[in-house]
Amino acid sequence: MVLALVMDLAVVMDKGNVIIEECLDTSMDHFRMAASQPNKPTMKEDGEDEMAGWWEKAAKKLREEDAAKLKKKKEEELEEKRKEEERASNAMRTREQALVRKCEEAQKKRQKDFEEGTMKLWAIAAEKKEREDKIFMERVVKEAHLIRKREEEEEEERKKKKGKGPCSTQ
């Protein structure tokens, strides 16, 4: 890396050692920088470069550690948020299942109550019909008995009226 140019000599850093070389090309055209490039650092005393390098290394290391801590913290927050969402989802699913189960149980109970009530009503209706039929049959029997009795009485009256006539063999 070229650090500075003094006329036809160049100062070159080679693995931390300063080496002065003679430039073959004395024109400065190839050393000109584009406007977007920062200025090159100037030559410093021995040891200053090493200290600046340490500072840069320490700063870089701290920035990397801070970035790693921040990344880890964000990942932990995201993981905690994901776990919380999963817990909430599981809790909601559990509540839904409990609600469905309660609804099913209530429906079964209503169905059972309906069936029991229907059976009781049918039994009551059957008993009522049986009583009505029994009462009707009793009335029929009574009426039949009355009719037979009337017929017998009428028969006897006819016989009495008819009485013994001249044709009687007795």
What confidence score (pLDDT) does residue 6 get? 42
For 8, the 3-state DSSP assignment is coil
Task: Name the band, by pLDDT with cuts 50, 70 and 90, for residue 41.
Answer: low
What gap in Å lies between CA 57 and CA 99, rounded to an integer?
A: 62
Asked if residue 2 belongs to a domain, the reply is no
Residue 65 lies in a domain: yes
Check residues 166 and 88 and name the one with the higher pLDDT.
88
> Does the pLDDT of residue 24 top 70, yes or no?
no
Residue 92 pLDDT exceeds 90: yes
In a domain, 24, yes or no: no
Q: Which domain holds residue 45?
A: 41-123
Structural domain includes residue 170: no
pLDDT at 40 exceeding the cut of 70: no
Would you say how long the chain is, in residues?
A: 170
Q: Which residue has the tokens 């839904």?
A: 96
Average pLDDT for residues 43-70, to the nearest whole number?
Answer: 82
CA distances from 69 to 34, 73, 74, 75, 81 (A): 37, 6, 9, 10, 18
Please give the average per-residue pLDDT across 6-20, as a whole number.
Answer: 49
User: Is 25 a domain residue?
Assistant: no
Contact assessment for residue 3 and residue 11, using Cβ atoms and an 8 Å cutoff: yes
What would the mean pLDDT of 16-42 be, rounded to a whole number? 54
Counted domains in the chain: 1
For residue 13, give every residue at least 6 positions away whose Cβ sits within 8 Å of its Cβ, in sequence order, or none. 1, 3, 19, 49
- Residue 3: band (very low, low, confident or very high) from pLDDT cuts 50, 70, 90: very low
Average pLDDT (125-153) is 96
pLDDT for 4: 44
**What is the Cβ-side half-sphere exposure of residue 119, based on CA atoms within 13 angstroms?**
6
Q: Is residue 150 in some structural domain?
A: no
